[in-house]
Amino acid sequence: MKITVIPGDGIGPAITDATIRVLSALECDLEFAFCTAGETALREEGALLPEKTLQSIGETKVALKGPITTPVGEGFTSVNVQLRQHFNLFANVRPVRSYPGISTRYDSIDLITLRQNTEGMYAGEGQFLSDDGSRAEAKSVITRAGSEEFLRYAFQLARSMGRTRLTLLHKANILKSTSGLFLSVGRSVKKEFPDLEYGEMIVDAAAMNLVKAPEQFDMLVTTNLLGDIISDLCAGLVGGLGMAPGANIGADTAIFEAVHGSAPDIAGKDLANPSALLLAAALLLDHIGMPHQAIRIRRAIEETTSQASTRTVDLGGTLGTQAYTDLLISYIHNQ
Ligand code: NAI
Ligand code: MG
């Protein structure tokens, strides 16, 4: 099977290289089509998102993507937003879980946030800033069709992953038209899934409850902007973005990535922790029907976090990207 690989910017190439080495150690017969996007692509090919990258993803239908630096304030649209729109990657799946040895307030978090990925405040419509800078506007767009496609996928994913409880987060008390439409679609789609427990919560209350008693949640389902914020909150519950993968899912295409960015402050210093991209690769393996290989990656990572001496620097250890990857590969060979 062929997958598109976009190393990206900053620490992207280093963590992508680590991930490819681990995937190769698994001997799962993947072929890699390397493409560019982001600053690297702008420098080398004159476009942030070159046509041949879009073509490759269109062909392979599955991509692994390193973080991308989007130049600020120069009129560039975020590459990530462009990819989501272009391939209609309508669902963003962000699982977080506790890892042994990474100490946080809670030690058994296992939560998934599902964020609608193409509508809401990110639809890019109605952006307006008056000439004198005194007034700004942006439009939030929610459609019944988009919400249905997304929510049905959310319930199906919950079922296929053996999840039991789905909580829809909304702000329909204030945003009556947009959030209200999303909520009403949720209420009708849930009827197709009577085996799943369904609940609703206003997002601000959910933010407080997630911090106070996260065990009451299993899978969170929400609109674009709310999901962006809530999924980072969830990452914070397990110790930050270092271990947080994300999957952008469409009807026939999927792009897997780390939730964190290109970390320019540590780029080129062998300090990046490749775990989030490795966990994204594990989601990719699940997606293409290789769940046993995905489990091998997760097990190897668990082994490393359980002891301080085998952790990367960001997690209080001493290992650099390369040495950490060597260790993971040796664990994989011993499995
Ligand atoms: P960031 O996530 O790149 O970095 C935040 C902090 O976390 C930094 O101190 C960084 O060193 C550290 N960090 C992040 N990933 C790490 C890793 N794997 N190992 C060790 N430490 C890690 O966020 P920031 O600085 O806000 O953004 C930098 C650039 O990344 C920006 O251009 C932003 O637009 C882009 N970005 C791209 C994303 C993507 O392509 N999916 C997502 C988020 C940001
Ligand atoms: Mg975000």
Sketch the domain layout of the chain as residue ranges.
1-91+244-335, 110-237
Q: Whose CA is nearest to atom 12 of ligand 1?
A: 263
What's the token pair of residue 109? 């978090």
- Predicted local distance difference test score (pLDDT) of residue 36: 97
For 120-170, the pLDDT digits (tens) are 988 778 889 999 999 999 999 999 999 999 999 999 999 999 999 999 999
Architecture of domain 110-237: 3-Layer(aba) Sandwich (3.40)
Q: Whose CA is nearest to atom 25 of ligand 1?
A: 263
CA of 106 to the centre of ligand 1 (A): 24
Taking the CA atoms of the chain, what radius of gyration do you get in angstroms? 20
Q: Residue 32's CB: how many other CB atoms inside 10 A? A: 15
Query: Which of 99-103, 151-155, 280-284, 327-331 has the lowest average pLDDT?
Result: 99-103
Residue 190 banded pLDDT, cuts 50, 70, 90 = very high
Ramachandran quadrant class, 247 (left: phi over 0; alpha: psi -120 to 50; beta: rest): beta
Of 78, 262, 279, the one to substitute when testing ligand 1's pocket (max ligand atoms within 8 A of C-beta) is: 262
Q: Does the pLDDT value for residue 300 go beyond 90? A: yes
For 317-328, the pLDDT digits (tens) are 999 999 999 999
- Beta bridge mates, 196: none
Lining ligand 1 with CB less than 6 A are 11, 15, 67-70, 80, 241-242, 257, 260-266, 272-273, 276, 314
Q: Does the pLDDT value for residue 74 go beyond 70? A: no
Any idea of the CA torsion for 266, 268, 269, 275, to the nearest 10 degrees? 70
Q: What average pLDDT does this structure show over 195-207? A: 98
Could you give the 3-state DSSP secondary structure of residue 109?
coil
Residue 167 host element (H or E): strand 165-170
Of 42, 260, 314, the one to substitute when testing ligand 1's pocket (max ligand atoms within 8 A of C-beta) is: 260
Give the number of the ligand closest to the Cα of residue 94: 2
Residue whose C-alpha is closest to residue 201's, from 193, 192, 210: 210
Residue whose C-alpha is closest to residue 42's, from 11, 82, 8: 8
Contact 272, 239 (CB under 8 A): no
Fold match between 1-91+244-335 and 110-237?
yes
User: Is the model's pTM score more than 0.90?
Assistant: yes
Q: Whose CA is nearest to atom 24 of ligand 1?
A: 261
Residue 293 banded pLDDT, cuts 50, 70, 90 = very high
Q: How far apart are CA 89 and CA 255, in angstroms?
A: 8
Q: How far apart are CA 109 and CA 91, in angstroms?
A: 22
Q: Does the pLDDT value for residue 73 go beyond 80? A: no
**What are the start-end ranges of the E strands in 223-323?**
245-249, 254-258
Query: Which of 203-207, 271-275, 305-309 has the lowest average pLDDT?
Result: 305-309
- Beta bridge mates, 111: 96
Could you give the 3-state DSSP secondary structure of residue 248?
strand
Buried b (16+ CB within 10 A) or exposed e, 98-132: bbebbeeeeeebebbbbbbbbbbbbbeeeeeeeee
- How many secondary structure helices (H) and strands (E) does the chain include? 11, 12
Q: How far apart are CA 214 and CA 97, in angstroms?
A: 11
- Name the superfamily (CATH) of residues 1-91+244-335: Isopropylmalate Dehydrogenase (3.40.718.10)
